[in-house]
Structure 1
Amino acid sequence: MKKTLLALAVPALLMAGSASAATVYTAEDGSTIDVYSRLGFNITDRNDDGDSVGNFDARIGLGGSQVVNDKVSVIGWAEYQVNAAEARGNGDWSPRYVWAGIDASEAGKVTFGRVASGIIMLSDIGDVFAASDVVLGRQLQLVDNSSAQTFRQDGTIQYQNSFGAFDMSVAYILGNTDSDQDGSYNAVGRYTFDLGDAGTLAPVLAYQANSTGDNAINPDADYTFWGAGLQYKLNALTLGAMYNQDEIEGVYSDKSTDKSYELTAVYNINDDWTARVGYRSLENSGGDEAEYKDTTFEVQYHLTERSSIYTSYVMRDGDNGNVTTAGPVMTDWNNAEEDYYHLGLRYEF
């Protein structure tokens, strides 16, 4: 019985690396093999000349669990993406998550590799749109070239567990050969208050600190990130509010600081339609001096339980700042000054 419960729990664990992994094989002892894939096509005018373009993107993941005993399983997940905005190179496959670990049931789980950072508990408050990017922790790439903001970093050792309504995560980040992390770590906590008929309220706190060694892209740099957020859910309505700040020293002539807040609202109109609206403000001082002032409107039509059409419009009233080789890469795809629309079909299996 315990083995069966553990096998059922592992696919939920893998959701940290995919939207919804499907179990394609279950052994007699409860060991599983799980797969995930997402295919999408997007039409947008988010480019230099303002002409509409079409872009294909895909994700595919494979993982599972091997039961050791009634309490412990060996787990792992590898997920790659192609032609996505953060892919390394033109259309190259790039890793989103690549990790192995141990799930010890009530004792928690430990994962090693390019894991889904616990900071996702905070970033998910604002990361609700198919169209807009996440700028939370954008300066981290200056101290770790393997990072996708604070969500995914190579060479991470992470422990996660839940104690009733409290979810927690702590991690030590070794980095890879190029990033040369030295004493880097993060910690995240979230508590969900059950308000009965009034819904649920979940505050989140997150902190991360990174230091680099002599072999890093920016040697002897120091980076800190902290953020706090609230998510409120009542029936079909979800409201979110988040503030975060990150600072980096040893890259620019002065300390570079991003200060950002985000507000989001999601309403499930019915089984077929979902509406979203959000506002983001980010201002940098001491670095590239960039500003993001984004207002996003999005409507989703659910073709099936797992496939949808999205249409979005993003109004941008920011400033690209001083584009330098030291700062986060500024491209036409992330122009803070140009509005854009997004029309996308997403198919998951």
Structure 2
Amino acid sequence: MMIVKTKTYLISALAILACGATQAAEIYRGKDGSTVDLYGRLGFNVSDKKTGDTQGDFDGRLGFSGRQVVNDTVSVIGLAQYQVNSAEYANNVEGDNDSLTARYVWAGLDMSQYGKLTGGRVSSGLIMFTDIGDVFASSDVSTGRQARYIDPTAVQVFRQDGTVQYQNSFGNLDFSTAYIIGNNTSDLDYGYNAALRYTLDMGDAGRLAPVVAFQKTRADQGEKSRANGADTFTYGGVGTRYYLGPLMLGYLYSQDTVTYVNGRADSKDKNHEFTAVYDINSDWTVRAGYRYLSNKGGDKLMLRDTTFEVQYKLTPRSSIYTAYILRNGHDGYNAVTGSNVSFGGSSASQSFYHAGLRYEF
């Protein structure tokens, strides 16, 4: 994510990045200044990630964002983004395989210098933190993975139904805070989160952008709850990105704990991630990263992933990605279902390759 220097541009950039696209096409403009923009992503991936055998998968994403001006300060805004085979399927939240599933759906108010207020399945401010590790086309987000044990709509810690969020920027400080109301699908009692990022401009020495993040959710223990005794999820993380010319380095550390009301031991994740991105020129970018995750008291999953990825830009909006992910961890064990716990659809001990063509519009 690029460092932004103005409040207005920051808020707009967060919405665009949440769509997973760098471009937008205006498809409607009303006489009152209202606009609707279209975002999208089409692609095809070849990998042996999920089965050990080479297979091809279609990658499709479609999003709409709108803005309606109220006055010189306030605009009504909204966004809806859908994806084929999005991560929501992992929790069986909605949809069938190969159908479009909502990743983000929210509406709110952009109040210019007074910030942005949004509600729904929002583009969470926690993305400022999770994006430090989420730089590869071929990998999945591990930080905060246990959020789903409390809220099944939280396929990632930064995507949850029924969230009311406030975001703003003051100078070099960007911040976000949210209250998670939940709904009938989320089975939540309550939840809240916050994230802070401060950008240090060090001139010729580059830029440093440290981030802190926190979230806590609690399950509703009613008769229809699907939490299986899980009671609370407490998550915290610190990290930073460093920018120097064409080089970006990142590091994050997070830990989270799930507590239970049925006598089960607390489940604790600790997660370290290192990332490096280097733009060789306008056409070629190389990425590398290492992730170490360990769980104690829960499923005992361990991830030790080393990722190497190369991107070639055919056009400013079309790229070929090739990657190899060296995995040296081990699967966990689900005490409730008795099944193995893998990660991202593949074993934590099986290395895999990935090649893909992606077009964004």
Is the TM value for this pair above 0.5? yes
Distance 1:54 1:331, change over 3 A: same
- For residues 237-274 of structure 1, the C-alpha deviation after alignment (integer angstroms, 9 at most, x for no partner) is 00001000010001771000000100000000001100
- Could you say if the C-alpha distance between residues 15 and 258 of structure 1 is closer, same or farther in structure 2, counting changes exceeding 3 Å? same
Q: Distance in 1 between matches of 2:230 and 2:313?
A: 48
| Native 8 Å contact 1:205 1:228 kept in 2 | yes
**Residue 311 in 1 paired to residue 322 in 2?**
yes
- What is the SS of the residue equivalent to 1:15? helix
SS at the partner of 2:102?
strand
How far apart, CA to CA, are the structure 2 residues paired with 1:95 and 1:265?
Answer: 31
Residues 93 and 85 of structure 1, relative CA distance in 2, 3 Å threshold: same
Q: Deviations over 1:144-167 (max 9, x none)?
A: 111122111000000000001000
Q: Measure the CA separation in 1 of the matches of 2:344 and 2:37.
A: 37
Q: Is the 8 A contact 1:174 1:180 kept in 2?
A: no
Query: Which residue matches 1:348?
Result: 360
CA contact (8 A) 1:278 1:295 kept: yes
CA distance in 2, matches of 1:264, 1:13: 21
Percent identity for Structure 1 against Structure 2: 53
Q: CA separation of 1:257/1:46 partners in 2, compared to 1, >3 Å: closer, same or farther? A: same
Q: 1:220–1:285: structure 2 CA closer, same or farther, 3 Å change rule?
A: closer
* Distance of 1:334 and 1:259 partners within structure 2: 20
Whole-angstrom distance in 2 between the partners of 1:33 and 1:9: 19
Matched residues, number = 344
Structure 1 residue runs without a partner (length 5+): none
Query: Retained in 2: the 8 A contact 1:11–1:34?
Result: no
State the secondary structure of the residue aligned to 1:121. Answer: helix
Match of 1:210 among 202, 217, 223: 217
The alpha-carbon distance between structure 1 residues 7 and 285, as it changes in their structure 2 partners (threshold 3 A), is closer
- 60, 63, 69: which one pairs with 1:61? 63
TM-score by structure 1 length?
0.93
Instruction: Note if 1:297 corresponds to 2:308.
Output: yes
SS at match of 1:182: strand
Q: Which residue of 1 aligns with 2:3?
A: none
Alignment of 1:104-123 (within 5 A): 104-123=111-130
TM-score norm. by structure 2 comes to 0.90
Q: CA deviation at 1:325?
A: 4.0
Q: Match of 1:56, as an amino acid?
A: F
* Mapped contact 1:146–1:176 kept (Cα < 8 A): no
Aligned residue among 249, 254, 259 for 1:244: 254
**Distance in 2 separating the partners of 1:214 and 1:96:** 26
User: Contact 1:125–1:230 (CA<8 Å) still a contact in 2?
Assistant: yes
Q: SS where residue 197 of structure 1 aligns?
A: helix
Q: Which residue of 2 aligns with 1:15?
A: 16
Is the CA contact (8 Å cut-off) linking 1:274 and 1:300 kept in structure 2? yes
Secondary structure at 2:333 match in 1: coil
Root-mean-square deviation (CA), in Å?
2.2
Q: Which residue of 2 aligns with 1:43?
A: 46
Of 273, 277, 280, 2:284 maps to 273
Query: Aligned letter for 2:330?
Result: D
The amino acid that maps onto 1:17 is A
Match of 2:135 among 114, 128, 139: 128
Is the contact made by 1:323 and 1:330 (CA closer than 8 Å) also made in structure 2?
no
Measure how far apart 1:33 and its partner are: 0.8
Per-residue CA shift, 1:173-216, capped at 9, x if unaligned?
01121323223100100000001111100000000000111233
Query: What code does the residue aligned with 2:275 have?
Result: T
Q: Which runs of 5+ in 2 are unaligned?
A: 1-5
CA distance in 1, matches of 2:174, 2:27: 29
Residue 29 of structure 1: how far off its partner (Å): 4.1
3-state SS of 1:334 partner: coil
Q: Which amino acid aligns with 1:65?
A: R
SS of residue paired to 1:263: strand
Match of 2:295 among 284, 293, 313: 284
1:162 aligns with 2:169: yes
The correspondence for 1:25, drawn from 19, 28, 33, is: 28
Question: 2:186 corresponds to which residue?
Answer: 179
Whether the aligned pair in 2 keeps the contact of 1:43 and 1:342 (CA below 8 Å) is yes
Partners of 1:319 and 1:80 in 2: CA distance: 32
Query: For the residues of structure 2 that align with 1:91 and 1:266, how far apart are their CA atoms?
Result: 32
Correspondence list, 1:77-92, <5 A: 77-87=79-89, 88=92, 89-92=96-99
Alpha-carbon contact 2:86-2:103 (below 8 Å) kept? no
Q: Secondary structure at the match of 2:128?
A: helix
* Paired amino acid for 1:343: A
Contact 1:11 1:23 in 2 (8 A): no
Contact 2:14 2:123 in 1 (8 A): no
